Amino acid sequence: MPNYSGWERQAANLLKPELKRKGVTYAQLVEKLDAIGINEKEVNVANKLSRGKFSAAFMLQCLRVIETEHLHLV
């Protein structure tokens, strides 16, 4: 099985700074996700972002609720 840790790290390194730029805490992110029907616990969100292990769908949901219109991929 291939090692995707670099990809996982890159995904987390795209999402975490975006949250910081928007001034959104993990607790606020959980509330915003709940508003669109995505039930997550703050500790689970923190773990996902810490490990970088989350689905593309989760990343898109997060970006949508924090109203990110553009994301620069390096």
DSSP code of 23?
A: T
**pLDDT tens digits for 17-64?**
999 999 999 999 999 999 999 999 999 999 999 988 999 999 999 999
Domain boundaries, the chain: 5-65
Q: Which of 6, 21, 23, 8 is nearest to 71 (CA)?
A: 21
Position 5 pLDDT exceeds 90: no
CB 39 within 8 A of CB 6: no
Position 74 scores a pLDDT of 67
CB 53 within 8 A of CB 45: no
DSSP code of 15?
A: H
